[in-house]
Amino acid sequence: MPTDLIASSAKKASLGVLETAASVAAASREVRIDRRVLDGFSRELARVPRAKPAWDPRYHYYDGTRKTVMYFLVLDSLNFCFWPAQGTDRWEMDYRGERLSGYFGLAAALKRAAEEGPPILEPAFLASLTRSDLKAILGGQGLLQLAAERLDILRETGRVLLEDFGGDAGRLLKAAAGSAVGLVRQVTAAFPSFRDTAEYDGQQVYFYKRAQILAADLYGAFGGRSWGAFRDLDRLTAFADYKLPQVLRHLGIFEYSERLARKVDRLELLEPGGPEEVEIRANTIRAVEMIRQELAASGQAVRAFEIDWLLWNLGQDDAFRRKPYHRTRTIYY
């Protein structure tokens, strides 16, 4: 293939996430990646490889059909902001004798609805969803933030599927033609709530956290087959959220400025799309990519989203929670 066509093909396959994250990381004023610590962590991973996190089906709906695709679209449309606002109780729910909160609580609540009702896998139901419907679906105790926004997003999901995809989430996958990048492009084009971008020093920055994690979730749920078969999963990046930076800071890979460290440690809210938040998220993507490159240099082919899963799972351990995560009220993560 001629060089100009190769370059054009590579550009087309890119989401712009890695490129804009690297640009922000290079210009960051409040967040710094300690390359020495990152290299040491990467060498340790290469020396004593951790098992790639296996897909856990306990809390996720799966029937092997388009209904499962719809389930994950609904789940990842709401996959954000699980921490409690100050002065409120964390949202928790009971599922088969377990007390769950956060992402797994949401996944289980939606699984229960998919199996027992209300009919969350029907776009027409979502398009006309009410506040009482959403409350019944989630159940539990405590407060899950951004309830009004979640309701709007579910209505949007149902409406867009009905108007543009014949009420069939499977058409999103067919339009993506086996490409994870193509799926991210389809989802972010069709659903405004998935358009996770920001501006930094006049430059557009792309994150696409929830759209990318949708592709990874489908891969995990379907075991890389059928609706989860994608040829370019290596093009996905880390899913820039609030848990990975917490882990990277605990490891010493992240260094915050004194001013930013005080804000994060005092649980002060960071402005959505503000320079501090954008720097944290962009450096997360950059750090994971650097770890991936170091592992590749040692002969280990680990994809960025698999490193993300590994770090996220580390973050579930209390040892990695000694310093708090940054707090931003946003629908994007």
Is residue 205 included in any domain, yes or no?
A: yes
Structure tokens at 134: 């959403």
pLDDT at 8: 35
Structure tokens at 207: 């994150």
Domain that holds residue 168: 14-321
Reported as a single tens digit per residue, the pLDDT across 98-113 is 999 999 999 999 999 9
pLDDT at 2: 35
Q: Enumerate the active-site residues.
A: 241
Q: How many domains are contained in the chain?
A: 1
Name the residue with higher pLDDT: 247 or 56.
247
| pLDDT at residue 1 is higher than 80 | no
Give the residue from 202, 247, 219 showing the smallest Cα distance to 303. Answer: 219
User: CA–CA separation, 264 vs 238, rounded Å?
Assistant: 21
pLDDT at 13: 62
| pLDDT at residue 328 is higher than 60 | yes
Is residue 185 included in any domain, yes or no?
A: yes
The whole-number average pLDDT for the span 15-23 is 97
Is residue 7 included in any domain, yes or no?
A: no
Is residue 333 included in any domain, yes or no?
A: no
DSSP 232-264: -GGG------SHHHHHHHHHTSEEE-HHHHHHH
| pLDDT at residue 10 is higher than 80 | no
The pTM assigned to this predicted structure is 0.93
SS3 95: strand
Is residue 55 included in any domain, yes or no?
A: yes
Q: Are 107 and 59 in contact (CB under 8 A)?
A: yes
Reported as a single tens digit per residue, the pLDDT across 71-98 is 999 999 999 999 999 999 999 999 999 9
Question: What is the average pLDDT score of the chain?
Answer: 94
Phi and psi dihedrals of 109, rounded to 5? -60, -40
| pLDDT at residue 6 is higher than 70 | no
Reported as a single tens digit per residue, the pLDDT across 138-167 is 999 998 999 999 999 999 999 999 999 999
What type of residue sits at position 159? R
Is residue 331 included in any domain, yes or no?
A: no
User: CA–CA separation, 65 vs 83, rounded Å?
Assistant: 32
Reported as a single tens digit per residue, the pLDDT across 34-61 is 999 999 999 999 998 777 778 989 999 9
| Residue 274, CA distances (Å) to 4, 278, 281, 299, 300 in order | 37, 6, 11, 38, 36
User: CA–CA separation, 105 vs 7, rounded Å?
Assistant: 43
Give just the sign of the alpha carbon dihedral 132, 138, 139, 144.
Answer: negative
Structure tokens at 161: 């599927």
The whole-number average pLDDT for the span 19-46 is 97
Phi and psi dihedrals of 86, rounded to 5? -60, 135
Give the residue from 232, 251, 231, 246 showing the smallest Cα distance to 280. Answer: 246
Is residue 159 included in any domain, yes or no?
A: yes
The whole-number average pLDDT for the span 296-303 is 95
Is residue 5 included in any domain, yes or no?
A: no
Q: Are 106 and 154 in contact (CB under 8 A)?
A: no
